[in-house]
Structures are given as structure tokens and as C-alpha cells.
Amino acid sequence: MSGRFHPLFLARDYDKCVVAKGKCLLDDPPKKYKPLFTVVDFSSIGFRTMFYSWIVHRIVHPVSALEYHGLLMFHAPDSGVVNVSEQVALDPSFTQEIARALGLKHPAHRGEDVIMSSDLVVTFKRAGGRLDRQAFSLKREQDITPRVLEKFAIEFAYWKSRKIILSLLLDTRLPRQLIDNVELIMEFYDPDRLPCDRRVIDLVGKWIISHLVTKDALRNLCSQCDRTLGLARGTALAVTYHLTATRVIRLNLRNAFLPNAAPSLVAA
């Protein structure tokens, strides 16, 4: 992507531009984390987006459509994710040493080594409260080349030395239906974005939960709720999205596109 290897991100500038600025500190409180890159570091041509994460309570900066989809996947209400860090810089003193040990060329721009980064580092809360941190590299399957795999080998060895697993996520293997549904509900996470107050949210929630045995599409069920409770059209659907995002209603987001499908709950 244009602008990715800006001179500020050369390996020799790591202390000045990463360490001194407190970037990429994985043990910082999630809402204080600073990524190596933000969307403003890139050309205005191409993918540019950012969004408020209800997991880390800050603006996150995916720098490609694929990274955006990966972040959405990890924002699924039942993913068990408690922290996510994007654009994580790798200390070049270690990546350069690893490259030499593996007999591989370190990533460089115009003859100068650059700071390598991992797309996502995600912390999961497992059974018993155990925290499990994993790193992820997201790639389009069509972009996989021998050189890409060499760079992945350096990245993999870096995280292995820190007892963290690095996984390669290909665009062709992402759960597209889940991602589409998370993108749909994410805008309704904040109750202040809803067209009603807390009292109505509670009423709609009770009504929807009591009618989840229906085989009708969710949009039709919510329309019936609007008519029954005398609400403006679309209110119950917005509230249902909110309650799904906040895990009050645990709808299955993997099987079908939410408004068109008969609602089903995830297994307890």
C-alpha cells in the first residue's frame, strides 16, 4: 500500500518513532494502545476506515479491507476477545537477528531495513479466566508468494520467541456471514444511537426473547413487535441488533444474514 514504508518507519528510527512515542505497548490498558500506523499515514487513494471498538474502547485503525474484516470477526459477541491491538511493531533488533539466523533477507525499502509489523495481536479469555494472547497475519490468498512466506517465517519466529502463536489468516478462510452480521450490529452497540429510551429497550428485549421460537425472518418478527408495542417502524430491529451486540440476546451470527433469517440462539 502506498505510504506504508514511510521514512519514519525505517528500522533505524525504531527508538525515536516507536519506543519514545509509546507505540505498540501490548501491556498498556487497551484504550491507551497506540498502533504503529493509523489511517492518516496512508495515501487517500484506496481503503481508509476506522471505527470505535466496543472491546478496547478506542478508535481502531485497520489499514486494509482484509484487516477491517479480521477486526470485525474478532468483535463477534461470543468470540471471547478481551483485547485487540492492530499494526503491532516488531523490534527490528530481533527481526534482523532472526532474518540472519534463517538466512533470509530482512524487509527493506530502497536498501534500508524497515520496521516489520503484525496485523493483529488478540487476547482471548479462556475457560477459568485464563488469558491467551495470539498474533495474526492477514493475507489475500492470491498474494501468497515465496517472498511473502519468507517474511511470515521471520514474523513467526519473532512471536515464537515470545511464546505467542502467530497464525496466517487468508481472505478465503474468513467467516463471511459472521463478518457481515457483526458489521450490521456494530453501529447499534451504543444505546445512545437507538431511536428509543431504556424503558423501550427493556420492553422490546422481553418481547423478542419470548418470541424467538418463531420460524419467521427476524425482520418480520421485529415488525410484529413494533406493531404490538406501538413503536415506530424499525425500532425493534435496531434494539435487537443492540441486544445482540451486547450479548443480552445471543443470536447465531454464523448461519445466515440476520434480518432475512429466522433467529436462532448460539449453544450455551
Question: What is the pLDDT, as a whole number, of residue 25?
Answer: 97
138 with 66: CB under 8 angstroms? yes
The distance in angstroms from the start CA to the end CA of the chain is 42
The amino acid at 16: K
Three cell numbers written together for 2? 502506498
The amino acid at 64: S
Residues of the chain with pLDDT under 50: 1-7
Of the candidates 78, 85, 92, 77, the residue with the CA atom closest to the CA atom of residue 136: 85
pTM (2 d.p.) = 0.90
Question: What is the pLDDT, as a whole number, of residue 6?
Answer: 47
Instruction: For the beta carbon of residue 210, count every other beta carbon within 10 angstroms.
Output: 8
45 with 39: CB under 8 angstroms? no
